[in-house]
Structure 1
Amino acid sequence: RMVLAAALLSARAAAVKLEFYGQAGCSHCFAFMTGALKQLLADPELAAKIDFEYFPWGNAYFVTKKCQGGGEYDIMPRKCYDANCGGGATARPDDCFGPGEIVCQNGPVECDANRYIACAKSVADMDHVKYLPYAECVDRAFEGNPHGNGLDIAELASKCADSSGLDSGKISTCFSGPAGDGAIKDQAMATPPHGFCPVVVVDGQMLQWGTEGNVLSVVCDKLVAPKPAACTAVASSPTWT
């Protein structure tokens, strides 16, 4: 058993860490989620070598004393928030995650969608095989309607839970209570300073925006031999920020 555990730890240590930061209502995020990312994770040989997580927060921010930002979405408070409260920040102000309101780029329906997806991650025990189909289902409803106008987000969340095999009751309970506060705080705290969404980070290095479609070649570059068969079929040309 100890040998097996050591082997599993070794395999996990050799995995490439892939992080995707996005938001509901972002067409580029949805294109990546349903395109290059889905193709990558659908390959069992590749997926076994990837430590993946999706963070549904994107360009959102809490209103804080230092960064302000109440009312309509504004990129300047958002960049201030990322720097002071987001991934990699040190000595975060005590109001980074409330009591100020959350402002989302595409409005309050996006905020609700992001929170539902954060709760789905928690209910799925952070297993992307379980929560990514849920995220895709929710985000699909925003295609061509980035502000989610007319969407019944609670009904959508329930429908997407059913279609992805997650417990809609547990997700709803999380969304409506302190567990939801904790879940969305985790997404905000992890999201690094960035320009645009989607943000794709491979082993700590952020891809240049617009090149996320090259994620396969970037991941393959990071993997040690023997590499999955899919890697031999791709030209290696990563682009970093």
Structure 2
Amino acid sequence: MDALRLLLILFLIPASAAVDSGDKVSFDVYYESLCPYCSNLIVNYLYKLFDSDLISITDFKLVPYGNAKIRPNGTITCQHGPNECLLNTVEACAIDVWPDVKVYFPFVYCVESLVYHHNYTHWDTCFEKLGLDASPVADCYSGERGRELELKYAAETNALDPPHRYVPWVVVDGQPLYDDYRDFISYICKAYKGTDPPSACTESSVGGIWKVKMNTIQSLYGQETVMSKLFRAGQAIVSWLQGNKIVDWF
């Protein structure tokens, strides 16, 4: 299912009408790369931003720092060890090098999906998988720019009011969602004050969400394709799983 979601993020982000920047809802996710709850949020929930045009009404920000600490000598230590500090910096550099959310989020998603499946040591394969040049990110995380970014994220995280208690720490329009962070869509929709709400705010059922996906696929590839058949089968499977209370992540 992760591969299908990544395809959805890469190819099926719908074009949408411009939204006045004053109407956009700030949506900030403070996390750390090797936190299992964080990777679960990114892999199984955040992709929903791209299922429809919800991303068009959000100022989306990922802050990869979490519970890290700055020692008196200036070095940064991370909750899950040096590998987490490395991946925090790698993801920070990806966001800095590719500021377009349609580029950096698939990369972060790819890395975190490997974390989710306990295979994070192969994180560098995400460059090839996504057709991205690794050089600028490598130069960043191995140089001074990577440290500058982590110090910036440290300052942003430490300035949170109220302070973060754990990660992931999800904030919508300045208000933390606490343990209700998985329901971020409803909070974004509620906070949106624009006149043209996106389909994610008007489609409340599983069938409605799948209808949005199918419409997007058919508009790009025609009425009957392998992808449309695949998503039709997926719709039936997910509906059955939810009906039997086996999964709840769609």
**TM-score normalized by the length of structure 2:** 0.67
Tell me the CA shift for residue 198 of structure 1. Answer: 0.6
Aligned to 1:47: 55
Structure 1 residues 143-192: Cα deviation after superposition (integer angstroms, max 9, x where no partner): 3649x6xx3xxx633x2122234320111011111111112122212213
After superposition, the CA RMSD in angstroms is 2.2
Tell me the CA shift for residue 141 of structure 1. Answer: 2.7
Structure 1: which 5+ residue stretches go unaligned?
1-6, 65-98, 236-241
Tell me the CA shift for residue 113 of structure 1. Answer: 0.6
**TM-score normalized by the length of structure 1:** 0.70
Structure 1 residues 25-51: Cα deviation after superposition (integer angstroms, max 9, x where no partner): 11111111122221123312x111111
Partners of 1:135 and 1:226 in 2: how far apart?
30
Partners of 1:139 and 1:232 in 2: how far apart?
29
Partners of 2:44 and 2:123 in 1: how far apart?
22
Structure 2: which 5+ residue stretches go unaligned?
1-16, 206-250
Aligned residue pairs total: 184
Partners of 1:182 and 1:104 in 2: how far apart?
16
Tell me, yes or no, if structure 1 residue 29 matches structure 2 residue 3.
no
Whether contact under 8 Å (1:25, 1:145) holds in the other structure is no
Tell me, yes or no, if structure 1 residue 199 matches structure 2 residue 166.
no
The percent of aligned pairs where both chains have the same amino acid is 32
Partners of 1:163 and 1:201 in 2: how far apart?
31
1:186 to 152, 160, 164: 152
Partners of 1:21 and 1:177 in 2: how far apart?
23
Aligned to 1:56: 64
Secondary structure of the residue aligned to 1:53 is strand
Aligned to 1:129: 102
Whether contact under 8 Å (1:21, 1:197) holds in the other structure is yes
Extract structure 1 runs of 4+ deviating beyond 3 A.
none
Aligned to 1:215: 184
Secondary structure of the residue aligned to 1:52 is strand
Given the superposition, is the C-alpha separation of residues 189 and 162 from structure 1 closer, same or farther in structure 2, using an over 3 Å criterion? Answer: farther
Partners of 1:41 and 1:204 in 2: how far apart?
22
2:87 to 98, 102, 113: 113
Residues 224-239 of structure 1: matches in 2 within 5 Å? 224=193, 225-234=195-204
Comparing both structures, which one devotes a greater share of its residues to helix?
Answer: 2
Whether contact under 8 Å (1:19, 1:200) holds in the other structure is yes
Secondary structure of the residue aligned to 1:51 is strand
Secondary structure of the residue aligned to 1:218 is helix
Secondary structure of the residue aligned to 1:141 is helix
